[in-house]
Amino acid sequence: MKSAVVVFPGSNCDRDCAAAIERSTGSKAEMVWHAESELPPGLDLIVLPGGFSYGDYLRCGAMAALSPVMGAVKQAADRGVAVLGICNGFQILCEAGMLPGALLRNAGLKYVCKAVALDLVNGQTRFTSGYGEQREAVMTVGNGEGNFFADEETLDRLEGEGRVVFRYRDNPNGSARGIAAIVNGPGNVLGIMPHPDRAYEPDLGSADGALLFQSVAAAAA
């Protein structure tokens, strides 16, 4: 699998993502600086990592969504390349209009950092096919603005089209309908608030995140 991790000013999970890809799939990821206007050719996966891009000024992800590289990311997504936005990356995807909804301040107005139990709602996406019969996963969250919000019509559409991929069992952020991850209509852009890049081997407390990267690799094979 050929993959790239985009590095924004303030990203702090970019190397975690690269390590997770390598340890999960055996392939290395290229690091791409946000100011680049082109991506490496032949990519199977583009990752927008967690962190605090541009210091979370204005709104989380709003400034990063205007970075030069995002034009190339959108073009790649339009061609069907898999794009994965984790935590701050999810915020960036929403701000860039690549996914619906928005990530608001957590309901408790506090930063939440802990392991969370998730229900796998849709195991048929290119990001989740490797989970097989498994319908539970454990990953970690670490955010202050992880509260997914969308209007009721949008939420109904996401549910009806099978675009809710993971749901919290114990909603730590107050997300609408407990949504932890969604996918776009074509199924190649996933935004997820919990961190699969922090759950790719048992020593980290869970290896459930590895299955996400392995699913993409299998789809690209």
Q: Residues with catalytic annotation? A: 87, 195
Tell me if residue 203 falls in helix, strand or coil.
Answer: helix
Report the C-alpha gap between 77 and 203 in whole angstroms. 33
At a CB cut-off of 8 Å and minimum separation 6, what does 83 contact?
45, 46, 47, 48, 73, 76, 77, 93, 98, 188, 189, 190
Report the C-alpha gap between 23 and 137 in whole angstroms. 18
What 8-state DSSP symbol labels residue 179? E
Beta carbons of 191 and 95 less than 8 angstroms apart? no
